[in-house]
Structure 1
Amino acid sequence: MPSLGTVPSFGRAVSQSLLLRSRAGRCHPRSRERGEAAVPLIPGMPSSYYSPAPPVSPHLGIPNPDANLEESINEIWNRRLEENPSLYNGKKFRHAGHALHHVDGLDQESSVCLHLGLTDYRTFVGTNLNPLWEKFLVPSEDDSVRCQHTSSPLGNGAIVETSDKRILVLQRSYNVGEFPGYFVFPGGHSEPEELGISDHQNDKGLTQSADLNRKVSQEMFDGIVREVVEEIGVPAESLTDPVFIGISRREMNVRPTAFFFLKCNMESKEIYQVYSRAQDGFESTQLYTVSRDELGKMALRMPGCHHGGYTLYELMIQTVENARQSSRSDHLHGL
């Protein structure tokens, strides 16, 4: 199980602030997004409940009652295939909400449970990326209800700190489908197919389901390490265990992304060298290693979900600083 890293007290100080909103940058004067970040109480390993239920389960998404909207999913996908026959309809984990499990006592750790189902790239393109994406939403304060007709694949993002205290940021290629040229953190998706999940598994007993949930939970962490290795080029052994810091949901397209904090034992100049040979280096045009102040400025040119990731990082840093000050104060009062 990944450790809590250097921030074991993160979350206790933010237990009264589950949701926070942050503005994201502009592509042009008329385009603004905001990211909505769900903050966990403790940044340890979240358990993941993978739903093996039939497609009417809210974890797996519910078809929209508007037949024309549902048909538009096929129409959009077919058009995309005509434009790019190499498109692959890969499986993705669908985010259907989360639950916080509180445990009384200072020595007990609360935990986060992610409710996950199964979706695919075709449904993502046809719902979240549909020009009519807002029509797929249900009026509700509950995100799991509001987004029940959308694909909502759970992306991932990594806040990676180098040994010389810089943060890694990529500039996306102009050939990618979403947000070309924008600044982003390394990331992508955890993959169901890494675990051999290719369809809804309805015949699993309790023991098998519990084992599957453990594997899915581990894949949340393995997946983000894999993305950093493939996009940046650093070896996996140079990275600390990821610390889960929260989930950000972009307001435009309501796309969710889970964010993690990792440290790399390499300096910036070393990372630049390996980046030139990164497996997925074609997805970006440039790597930046930036200070915390520089990161705040670059975040204004990030997609909303990544701006939410930046806000989660800032919240984590502030919480750690507050905890240290509180610890020093307690120590002084104890003398």
Structure 2
Amino acid sequence: MMDPEISLLFQSPSPAGIAESQAQAELSPLYDRHPLPGDQAQIESAWAARRQQSPWLFDGAKFRLHSVELLEGGPFRFRLGLTCYKDFVGTNLAERAGRLRQRGSRDLGDSQAYLADPLGVGAILHTADDQCVFLRRSLSVGEAPGKVDIPGGHPEPQAVAGCTASSQGPIRHQDLPGELVVQEVFSSVLREIQDEVNLPASTLSSPALIGIAQNETSAGRSSAEFYVRCSLSSEQVRHNYTLGGPEAQESTSIIFVSRQDVLTMEPSAGLWQELCPSAKGAIRLYRAVMGASQ
């Protein structure tokens, strides 16, 4: 199934997905966004305008996905730089995003070179009674307000830096050990499920990476999509959700869709039209990787 809002950068060759133990992360300034002359002034202007509309937004360090690699018979590798949410607003979400992609292709052979491209995470969350969990985003969130999404967010460099001895001052690539970065990428999706759906960690399986999807509505920004099993039924999940978690304000309702309906949902379907691109990408990857194996 095709949808112009999404593209797939990578999908797991294994129907079981990729486990944390099979992944590596390589961090380098070489994988940061390439700045352009006069760039920062345009970013600051775009950020000021966005903050005026949504004063609750805040800047923060993010991982920038440059590329991924899967060696034959070897581990999966994230190649990551550092970026921030302000740069994301001023590049990927700016009106000039299309021009930046064209210039990146022309100058460096990389359409994403001048974009912040912060790495997101999302999860196909599968309940014990064969339902998949979706959330209706609130109107106060910075991206895709009112749309239907899967649980997700961002892995945080600050969480990794806080685990190291060199955590004072600005976050530096050398302060972020690859094994801790991988741990943060995989654990962040569980943290988002716990915070957004209010589920105990003990009810969630270890995440399996099913692939990387790109959101073409935000200039190709990438999201690592995972599969997570929950030992609770959909009614138990609904009960926990209604009690409210730390990030309950990010959504207004919970939606359950049977696994079979997820696997057969058509782009013309009403729910598909309401989905965020990240959720569409996760569904496409889930179908491609795990659809025939469960």
TM-score normalised by the chain length of structure 2: 0.85
Deviations, residues 113-147 of structure 1 (Å, cap 9, x unaligned):
01111111110110011011111114649x98210
AA aligned to 2:194 is V
User: In structure 1, what residue type is equivalent to 2:117?
Assistant: S
Q: CA deviation at 1:180?
A: 1.2
Q: Counterpart of 2:223?
A: 257
Q: 1:182: how far off?
A: 1.0
1:283: which partner in 2?
Answer: 250
Map of 2:83 onto structure 1: 119
Q: By how many angstroms is 1:101 displaced?
A: 1.2
Change (3 A) 1:190 1:163: same
The 2-side partners of 1:184 and 1:201 are apart by: 32
Q: Which residue of 2 aligns with 1:145?
A: 110
Alignment partner, residue 310 of structure 1: 283
State the shift of 1:239 in Å: 0.3
Query: Contact 1:36/1:305 (CA < 8 Å) preserved in 2?
Result: no
| Structure 2 match to 1:50 | 27
Query: Residue 274 of structure 2 corresponds to which residue in structure 1?
Result: 301
**TM superposition shift of 1:304:** 2.1
Cα shift readout 1:58-100 (whole Å, capped 9, x = no counterpart) = x1110125x3x54211111122334444432111111111111
Aligned length: 273
Q: Distance in 2 between matches of 1:113 and 1:299?
A: 31
Which residue in 2 is equivalent to 1:78?
A: 48
Deviation of 1:22 (Å):
3.4
Task: State the partner residue of 1:324.
Answer: none
**Equivalent residues in 2 for 1:315-330, closer than 5 Å:** 315-320=288-293
Match of 1:91 in 2: 61
1:270/1:144 Cα in 2 relative to 1: closer, same or farther (>3 Å)?
farther
SS of alignment partner, residue 76 of structure 2: strand
Once residues 303 and 182 of structure 1 are traced to their aligned partners in structure 2, the CA distance between those partners, rounded to angstroms, is: 6
* 157-166 or 273-282, which deviates more: 273-282
Q: Does 2:172 align with 1:201?
A: yes
Whether 2:190 is the aligned partner of 1:225: answer yes
Q: Which residue of 1 aligns with 2:144?
A: 179
2:72 maps to 102
Cα 1:246–1:220, aligned 2, differ >3 Å: closer, same or farther? same
Give the letter aligned to residue 248 of structure 2.
Answer: G
**Alignment RMSD:** 2.3
Cα deviation, residue 226, structure 1: 0.2
Q: Which letter maps to 1:313?
A: Y
Letter in 2 for 1:50: L
How much identity, in percent, do the aligned residues show? 29
Q: Matched residues in 2 for 1:274 and 1:22: separation? A: 35
Work out whether residues 35 and 307 of structure 1, in 8 Å CA contact, stay in contact via their aligned partners in 2. no
Question: How many angstroms apart in 1 are the aligned matches of 2:42 and 2:279?
Answer: 28
Indicate if the aligned counterparts of 2:147 and 2:276 stay in contact, CA closer than 8 A. yes
Counterpart position of 1:271: 237
Offset of residue 181 of structure 1: 1.3
Distance 2:80 2:130 in 1: 34
Q: How far did 1:303 drift?
A: 2.2
Compare CA radii of gyration and give the structure with the larger one.
1
Deviation track 1:33-78 (CA, whole Å, cap 9, x = no partner) reads: 2333421334222211122x3xxx2x1110125x3x5421111112
Secondary structure in 2 matching 1:35: strand
**TM-score, normalised via structure 1 length:** 0.75
Give, as a single letter, the amino acid of the residue that structure 1 aligns with 2:185.
Answer: M
For the residue of structure 1 that corresponds to 2:293, the secondary structure is helix
Question: Given that residues 127 and 133 in structure 1 are in contact (C-alpha distance below 8 angstroms), is that contact kept between their aligned partners in structure 2?
Answer: yes
Deviations 1:167-223 (A, max 9, x none): 001111122221111111000001111112674536x4xxx77xx100001111110
CA contact (8 A) 1:161 1:262 kept: yes
